[in-house]
């Protein structure tokens, strides 16, 4: 992640912190060297939801920024359970999302009780209710997870069909709408390159958005990315991704008004006459994939499911879990093993085809 991108995330984090209690700012500052900026930003979003709920339910503070440490110290287990129920039934969060939000709160409360100190060397809070809270039990097997992913990925010929749809067919489908057709014509090389890169490498959303020109090695077919835990890694991408990236790079400067000082790979078009070009944000990439997926007839298709699509195809063709683990940037090989279950159906078909060939 380059300096300008880090600065962008830090500004967004600071904006969120300006609306939160002072001790949350202190906690986030203490984690800036250890956690990714995207993680810290997610923490801020989680804390805003929690403190807004606290103000609404307890009405003892005028705003989330005014919630004092004493209010955290007197929270009961029942009240926190009510908050978790609010996440599930009012906000529609699933068990995984609730666990993530609970983890963020546990980390904050642990800091306030066990790490932060007042001037007289006492902890900020004596009682930590979050330490008593248990995570949701999620007992899904790898096969269950694989089955859940199954309907949300591309298979075999779908790779090229979807790529062609982004590159050409979407514009044809919308030729009657001059605005949409023109917008597609401007961005189709860029959007095709993004889709090809994810389908040809399995990169995460944040990794794709954070790529700079100097990160690309077109000779070796590699790109340097910053993975989870701020680990730098060179990741291979496919020849089709290379060809689409080269097509995009040919028009990048002229089409998007890129200046020599702007090194980010994927750019957004300038807004207005005096608007400057800028890095395409992760949310913008999400939205463009959602747009193409809906028009293609697979609205469940997301950036993450394109990553799953790559992993499934890679395992089917190579059957090399350790290398796939490294390619995807997984910390545990157990996570990568999900894709062995996703390819069960293909294996079954392959065996059946062998039987057919013998009978013929």
Catalytic residues: 204, 228, 304, 307, 330, 339
* Residue showing tokens 């500004």: 11
DSSP-derived secondary structure letter, 95: H
Q: Is the dihedral of CA 170, 171, 173, 177 positive or negative?
A: positive
What is the distance in angstroms between the CA of the first residue and the CA of the last residue of the chain? 57
* Cβ within 8 Å of residue 150, ≥6 positions away: 342
Do 250 and 279 contact (CB within 8 A), yes or no? no
DSSP-derived secondary structure letter, 264: B
DSSP 107-152: HHHHHHHHT-B-TTS-BS-S--GGGG--PPP----HHHHHHHHHTT
Distances (CA, A) of 14 to 23, 25, 281: 13, 8, 18
Expressed in percent and rounded to 5, the helix, strand and coil fractions of the chain are: 65, 5, 30
The tokens for 281 are: 């944000």
- Name the residue among 290, 289, 288, 263 with its Cα closest to residue 278: 263
């Amino acid at each position: 992640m380059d300096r300008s991108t880090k600065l962008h995330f830090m500004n967004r984090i600071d904006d969120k912190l300006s609306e939160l209690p002072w001790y949350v700012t202190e906690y986030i500052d203490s984690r800036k060297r250890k956690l990714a900026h995207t993680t810290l930003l997610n923490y801020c979003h989680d804390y805003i939801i929690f403190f807004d709920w606290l103000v609404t339910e307890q009405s003892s503070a005028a705003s989330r920024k005014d919630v004092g440490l004493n209010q955290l110290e007197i929270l009961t287990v029942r009240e926190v359970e009510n908050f978790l129920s609010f996440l599930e039934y009012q906000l529609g969060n699933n068990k995984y999302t609730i666990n993530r939000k609970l983890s963020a709160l546990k980390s904050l409360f642990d800091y306030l009780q066990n790490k932060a100190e007042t001037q007289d060397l006492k902890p900020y809070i004596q009682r930590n209710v979050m330490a008593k809270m248990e995570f949701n039990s999620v007992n899904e097997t790898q096969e269950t997870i694989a089955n859940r992913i199954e309907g949300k990925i591309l298979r075999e010929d779908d790779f090229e069909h979807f790529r062609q749809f982004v590159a050409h067919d979407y514009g044809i489908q919308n030729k009657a709408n001059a605005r949409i057709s023109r917008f597609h014509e401007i961005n189709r090389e860029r959007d095709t390159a993004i889709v090809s890169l994810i389908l040809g490498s399995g990169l995460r959303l944040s990794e794709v958005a954070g790529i700079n020109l100097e990160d690309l090695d077109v000779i070796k077919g590699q790109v340097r990315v910053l993975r989870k835990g701020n680990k730098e890694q060179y990741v291979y991408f496919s020849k089709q991704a290379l060809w689409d990236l080269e097509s995009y790079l040919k028009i990048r400067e002229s089409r998007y008004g890129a200046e020599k000082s702007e090194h980010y790979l994927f750019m957004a078009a300038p807004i207005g006459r005096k608007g400057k070009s800028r890095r395409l944000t992760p949310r913008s990439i999400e939205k463009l994939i959602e747009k193409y997926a809906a028009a293609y007839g697979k609205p469940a298709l997301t950036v993450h499911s394109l990553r799953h699509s790559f992993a499934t195809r890679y395992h089917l063709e190579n059957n090399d879990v350790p290398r796939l683990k490294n390619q995807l940037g997984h910390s545990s090989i157990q996570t990568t093993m999900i894709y062995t279950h996703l390819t069960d159906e293909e294996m079954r078909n392959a065996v059946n085809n062998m039987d057919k060939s013998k009978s013929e």
